[in-house]
Amino acid sequence: MTHRANSPEAREPELITKAQRGDRSAFGELVRRHRRGVINVVYRMCGDIHFAEDMAQEAFLRAWQKLASYQPHAPFRNWVYRIATNAALDVLRKEKDFINIDDVQLAGPGAGPEAKLARDELGDRIKLAILSLPPASRAVLILREYEALSYREIAETLDIPMGTVMSRLNFARNKLRQLLAPDLEER
Amino acid sequence: MSEHVNAWLGAYYDGELEGRRLSAVEKHLAQCSSCQQALKELKEISLLLRSSPDPEVTLSADQFVAQVGLRMSRMPDQPLWQRAISVGWQWTPVGILGLWSFLQAVFIVAGILFLAVNLGFGGETLASLVSSSQTGSSVGDLFLLQGESVNEILRTGLDLLRTGGPFGWGLFVNLGISVALGLLYCSWLVSWWIRTRSPNHSEMPLEMNLNGN
């Protein structure tokens, strides 16, 4: 019965309420639903799929621990994004050399799970351009362009003013326009 | 022509502008080819970014969920007030038993005290204490305390001790208190049993729902 109640069709608020009471199965369904989005956000932040998966797991563990403090006025997805993004930003601030652009560039065919992505040269250039942005601007850009969060949601997720969201997004887009100018001309 | 609106173009493209600001940007765009070009480039960069594929994950959904499940604590952390209630709940039987033991000790001591006085033991101090409690005289003086209210409190306390002994109608008071505490303890036991029957309590499965059905 518990399994049926926590099926993929179950409504998210019900799953959250159950998980807040300690229902691990309900929380597992929430993890299943938002896993991909959280991994994508962290991956775009750091460019390493293994790190992204580890960090996404860490984000869900933190979410489980803090679940009692979750207020349903914001979507659960944005709340987990907030945890994941802050965790990734913490790592990027502490380990400034975490992203080695040269390593990313050298990742070629046969380099493992990223081999297919590495073969996509345009994908690589976009990835490198995003990784060259300052982490704070990168986070805003990723949440807007890839997760389609509104400015207000981004402001709440990153705990910054709306004006800062707009200025960081403008900065990131202008910078990318310069970095990806050859690709833009080809289109 | 009004000033260029480059600073607002991103928000305009994202549909985040409204009211007078939106009207102003639209009005300017209609007559400024430079800003039109900037908006076009903005759209192109956005489309280019979105053409980048999602990464290929190394863990399947089941593996990912299972790994998170293995590292999860049994229960989410509770807020401080919930933890305080939880601890209070767990210690309730001990509190009831402690209260009952304390009252029994008080009744027994009181019984022995007044039995000793009635039999002539304990000397003048004990006799005067009991006597003052019975007569309402200045018991507070014994403890270097002043005032009618202090005397009243002490006298009432000693009266209770006297009547609560095992040799007076205090026996019934004792019995009543014991029954009340016993009922309280039984209520706690029933609540505890109901809680343990709850599917979200300790009976919940430790593993995650891997199949999602």
pLDDT (tens, 9 = 90+) of chain B, 213 residues, equals 568 888 899 999 999 998 898 999 999 999 999 999 999 999 999 998 988 888 888 889 899 999 988 888 766 666 677 778 878 888 888 999 999 899 888 888 877 877 777 777 766 666 665 555 554 444 444 444 444 555 565 566 566 555 554 445 667 777 888 899 999 999 998 988 887 776 555 434 444 444 433
**Shortest CA distance to A21 belongs to which of B70, B90, B203?**
B203
pLDDT at position B212 is 39
- Closest residue of chain B to A149, computed from CA coordinates: B14
What is the number of residues in chain A? 187
Distance from the Cα of A109 to chain B's closest Cα (Å) equals 14
Which CATH number is A1-99 given? 1.10.1740.10
Taking a C-beta distance cutoff of 8 angstroms, is the pair A125, A180 a contact?
Answer: yes
pLDDT at A35 over 90: yes
All structural domains of chain B with their residue ranges: 6-50, 80-197
pLDDT at position A33 is 93
Give the whole-angstrom CA distance, residue A16 versus residue A7: 13
Whether residues B58 and A49 touch (CB distance < 8 A) is answered with yes
**Contacts for B48 with CB less than 8 Å, ≥ 6 apart:** A126, A180, A183, A184, A187
SS3 of B37-83: the string is: HHHHHHHHHHHHHHCCCCCCCCCCHHHHHHHHHHHCCCCCCCCHHHH
Taking a C-beta distance cutoff of 8 angstroms, is the pair A117, A148 a contact?
Answer: no
SS3 of chain A: the string is: CHHHHCCCCCCHHHHHHHHHCCCHHHHHHHHHHHHHHHHHHHHHHHCCHHHHHHHHHHHHHHHHHCHHHCCCCCCHHHHHHHHHHHHHHHHHHHCCCCCCHHHHHHCCCCCCCCHHHHHCHHHHHHHHHHHCCCHHHHHHHHHHHCCCCCHHHHHHHHCCCHHHHHHHHHHHHHHHHHHCHHHHHHC
CA distances from A142 to A45, A47, A145 (A): 8, 12, 5
pLDDT at position B168 is 56
Chain A contact set for B53 (CB, 8 A): 117, 120, 123
Distance from the Cα of B122 to chain A's closest Cα (Å) equals 60
Sign of the alpha-carbon dihedral angle for B34, B35, B38, B43: negative
Give the whole-angstrom CA distance, residue A47 versus residue A52: 8
Residue B198: which H helix or E strand, with range? none
Residue B119 has what DSSP assignment? T
Query: Which amino acid makes up residue A13?
Result: P
Q: Is B170 left (phi over 0), alpha (psi -120 to 50) or beta?
A: alpha
Chain A contact set for B10 (CB, 8 A): 166, 169-170, 173
> Dihedral through CA B15, CA B21, CA B22, CA B27, nearest 10?
-140
Taking a C-beta distance cutoff of 8 angstroms, is the pair B141, B131 a contact?
Answer: no
Residue B106: which H helix or E strand, with range? helix B92-118
Task: Give the lowest-confidence range in A40-54, A76-90, B138-152.
Answer: B138-152
Distance from the Cα of B82 to chain A's closest Cα (Å) equals 10
Q: Which residue has the tokens 């204490």?
A: B129
Whether residues A173 and B44 touch (CB distance < 8 A) is answered with no
pLDDT at A17 over 70: yes
Q: Which residue has the tokens 């594929």?
A: B53
> Taking a contact as any Cβ pair under 8 Å apart, which residues of chain B between 130 and 169 contact chain A?
none
pTM for this one? 0.63
Q: Which residue has the tokens 């009952």?
A: B100
Q: Is A22 left (phi over 0), alpha (psi -120 to 50) or beta?
A: left
Give the whole-angstrom CA distance, residue A58 versus residue B10: 33
Chain B contact set for A53 (CB, 8 A): 57-59, 64
Give the whole-angstrom CA distance, residue B25 versus residue B21: 6
